Amino acid sequence: MTTSWLVRRLIYAAITLVVISMVVFSLVRMTGDPVLLFLPQDATQADIDRVRRQFGFEDPLIQQYRRFLVSALRGDFGVSIKFQEPVLDVVTRRLPATVQLASAAMLLTLAVALPAGIVSALRRNSLLDRLTMTAVVLGQSMPSYWLGVMLILLVSVQWRLLPAFGYGTLAHLVLPAVTLSAFFIARIARLTRSGMLEVLKSDYIRTAEAKGLPVTSVVLKHALKNAGLPIITIVGIEFGTLLGGTVITETIFAWPGLGRLAVDAIYGRDYPVVQTIVLLVSAIFVSLNLIVDVLYRWIDPRIELG
């Protein structure tokens, strides 16, 4: 793993982020005027013009972008139009709730998907395999807004087992984490199954089995380690997706995280908040990609990456 390779990757990552910032910056501005939304429905034209000037929305777009980029490089992401406080404060306050939800969903995904995938692969075409895969397809095809509402109706309203919404305790975390992870469990279970099937057919597994090694050793040490590479990739990237994909789950469960903040900010045309969240999630995504690449080369030195 050469330093120049790493430097090159870092430069790519930086370029990616700048391009994203440009796209977001112009996209949010194409969707309408934040001033109208910030002011009451009965604001006077004078009020509107005044606020527009105060926020600098009358300057050319290029100038506004330059101003944004220069301050962002200094770590200043501006002031939220809606909350009237530094965007960084607004965003970092909401980040822990989302990280907590995404991490719980990821752990749940791994805890369910890996065993399910492995067992399915080992008992290929058995009843167990068919049942597991049916459940997986179901999980992948249930949209989270439907699954979330159904879980609330059944678990909270009907059975009174868990709270219907809210944030704070482990009990509050269960339903949102299940809702959020359903899709990913399905994805990763299928990936594990196909990866394992591929590996189980290979010569060295037959050799290992022929040597009379115990099944667990064959499966975990020999097969899973080799089937693991694509799983690491997906898990790494999906964690980014999880962080950015909590929008619907957070809205359903009144979870005070980043996803809900993003939706509100988009509807309210709170440009600085939208920009910062998109940049933050992009940065996480890009970093995860980078980490996955590094891990790849570390696990399997044969892999050449451009």
Partner 1 sequence: MASRRLCLLAVVMLAVLIPSGAAIEAAEPAGRIVVGTAADPETLDPQMSASLPTWNIARNTFETLLFRDMKTFGYSPGLAESYRLVNDTTWQFKLRRGVKFHNGEEFNADAVKFSVDRVLNPEQKSPSRGLNVLIDRVEIVDPYTVNIITKKPMPMLPERFTTPGFTGTISMLPPKYVREKGDQHFAANPIGTGPYRVVKWSKGESVELEANKDYWRGAPKIKTVVFQAIPEASTRVSAILTGQADIIAAVPPDTIDTIKRDANVRIAETDVDGMPPHVQINTTRGGPLADVRVRQALGLAIDMDLVVKRLLRGHGVQRALPLDPRAFGFNPKLALHKPNLDRAKKLLGEAGHPNGQGIPELLFIFPTGGRYLMGESVAEYVAQQFGKLGVRVKLSPGEYGAWLTAMRDKKSYDLGMIGWGGGGRFDVGDTMFFQLHSQSPFSWFDNKEFDGLLDRAREVSDPEARKALYAKAQALAIDQAPLLPAHQTNSIFAVRQNVVWNPAIGEMILLYEAERK
Residue selected from 30, 46, 127, 170 as contacting partner 1 according to rule CB under 8 A: 46
Q: Is 30 in the site for partner 1 (CB under 8 A)?
A: no
Residue 45, Cβ neighbours under 10 Å: how many?
A: 7
Q: Is the C-alpha dihedral spanning 51, 91, 15, 236 positive or negative? A: negative
Q: Is 61 in the site for partner 1 (CB under 8 A)?
A: no
Q: Which stretch binds partner 1 (CB under 8 A): 15-23, 37-45, 215-223, 233-241?
A: 37-45
Number of residues that bind partner 1 (CB under 8 A): 49
- Cα separation, 205 vs 219, whole angstroms: 9
Tell me which H or E stretch contains 165: none
Closest to partner 1 by CB, 4 or 84: 84
The site map against partner 1 for 157-186 (x = CB under 8 A) is x--x--xxxxx-------------------
- Cα separation, 86 vs 258, whole angstroms: 15
- Residues in region 103-132 near partner 1 by CB under 8 A: none
Provide φ and ψ at 118, rounded to 5°.
-65, -50
- Residues in region 72-91 near partner 1 by CB under 8 A: 82-85, 90
- Cα separation, 275 vs 105, whole angstroms: 26
Closest C-alpha to 94, from 219, 212, 256? 256
The site map against partner 1 for 253-282 (x = CB under 8 A) is xx-xx--xx--x--xxx-------------
* 87 CB-side CA count, 13 A: 24
Binding site for partner 1 (CB under 8 A): 31-33, 36-47, 50-51, 54, 82-85, 90, 93-94, 97, 149, 152-153, 156-157, 160, 163-167, 251-254, 256-257, 260-261, 264, 267-269
